[in-house]
Amino acid sequence: MFYREAGDFKTSYREDSQTFPLALDRWAYRLLMAVAVLVVPFVIDGYWANAILVPFLIYAIAAIGLNILVGYAGQLSLGTGGFMAVGAYAVYKLSVAFPGINIVFHIIAAGGITALVGMLFGLPSLRIKGFYLAVATLAAQFFLVWLFNKVPWFYNYSASGQINAPDRSVLGWMVTGPLATPAAKYLICLAFAFVVAWIARNLTRGMTGRKWMAIRDMDIAAEIIGVNPLTAKLTAFGVSSFFIGIAGALFFAVYLGAAEVGEAFGINKSFLILFMVIIGGLGSIFGSFAGAAFMVLLPVALKNLLVGGFGWPTDLAAHIELMIVGGLIVIFLIAEPHGLAQLWRLTKEKLRLWPFPH
């Protein structure tokens, strides 16, 4: 009875087109952001920031980007890890070449470079789709990893082939390098996650999002009614790659600090983020966050339980952890193929009807 549209009067088109139509939703998200900004930075320690919150936010950004391409535009991609590598190496080269510019602009520029690369590799989507497009993006994944590994210019001719993030600050707070505090890392990732989610939410609600969904549902019919497949698909690849590039830049500069492309951005990264999108729910911004939370929090919880609770050896616990996570993913997909976002929608519908059964 308390989760209702009743009483939410709208007297203008602006009010009618709000991102969150229900006042309760708006206040809930405002409260969540207030806690995330004003409370969490002062209570987290290094473990919570580096092992849970920072990777969760970065993976959520990457999942949003992939969800736009797969969930909204219906274009399957297995090259997410390679596009994250583009963002990582772009922010590295930019921060080394232009040390006087704020790293926030470097991260945004890295996203722009990744968008161009993503649109280039998205050109095959104009002729192929489905499994064949997945193979094409998989080829992009392997090519990009090979390129960054074999061309010394990308890692500044380092003997180890590794790139290291230089020390950079935002508003006087170190966000990269050994002097960066957990709170600063968390806040910059939170800021990017908020902006990315807000942009994605509004894009998918507008004309651009409707074009993506028309192409996803039936591209021939969409073309008949005036949707240009060229611009729709390339826009989806560009926006998706932009967000994934930002995630890759943050993953390298803020989270890892140092990276080697084969280890940090291999094919496993592409599958990990794809699993996040599938588990969270295709075509849902909330589902991207839910899937990222599932894939980040569950392994950490299992590791603490098996090693800290049961006292199992670390190597044995790592194998058991992978088995449990994989089994839970399969069971979850069978029980609820539409993901965690669908469970959340059903829960909200139950709240709207409560205490009545129908």
Q: Is 102 within a domain?
A: yes
In a domain, 292, yes or no: no
List, for residues 96-112, the tens digit of each pLDDT value. Answer: 999 889 999 999 999 99
Domain assignment present for 330: no
- How many domains, in total, are found in the chain? 1
In a domain, 256, yes or no: yes
Q: How many CB atoms lie within 10 A of CB 280?
A: 29
Residue range 25-53, pLDDT digits in tens = 788 889 999 999 999 998 888 888 888 99
- What is the per-residue pLDDT for 4? 60
CB count, 10 Å around CB of 27? 11
pLDDT per position as a tens digit, 192-238: 999 999 999 999 988 999 999 999 988 889 889 888 989 999 999 99
Question: Does the residue 340 lie in any domain?
Answer: no
The reply to whether 147 falls in a domain is yes
In a domain, 34, yes or no: no
| Predicted local distance difference test score (pLDDT) of residue 102 | 93
Task: Examine residue 135 and state whether it is found in any structural domain, yes or no.
Answer: yes
Per the structure, the complete domain to which residue 223 belongs is given by: 45-266
Of the candidates 119, 99, 143, which has an alpha carbon nearest to the alpha carbon of residue 230? 119
The model carries a pTM of: 0.92
Per residue in 280-332, pLDDT tens? 999 999 999 999 999 998 888 888 888 878 788 888 888 888 888 888 788 87
Label residue 248 exposed, middle or buried (CB < 10 Å: 0-12, 13-18, 19+). Answer: buried
